[in-house]
Amino acid sequence: MSLPQIIFVASGILVIIVGLSRFGFNGRKAQRWIKLIGVVPTQILYVVIGIALIVIAFTVNLGTI
């Protein structure tokens, strides 16, 4: 694994953990999403973004970045 892949996978895992544990939901951006769509959809959004980061790490050629 290259360094960009490791960074993308680590950030994806971190985003999934934040989404599942609600840690960091007190921030302004998270509060805006919670008011707009609710708590559970916000958690699902975090998990989907985390999975997308992990998928990007293995599908996109990150050696050119």
Specify the pTM: 0.80
More confident residue, 65 or 14: 14
**Domain coordinates in residue numbering, the chain:** 3-56
Q: For residue 65, what pLDDT is reported?
A: 61
**Model confidence over 14-61: pLDDT tens digits?**
999 988 887 877 778 778 878 888 888 888 999 999 999 999 998 887
Long-range contacts from 45-49, C-beta under 8 angstroms, 24+ separation:
45/19, 46/15, 46/16, 46/18, 46/19, 46/20, 47/15, 47/16, 47/19, 47/20, 49/12, 49/15, 49/19
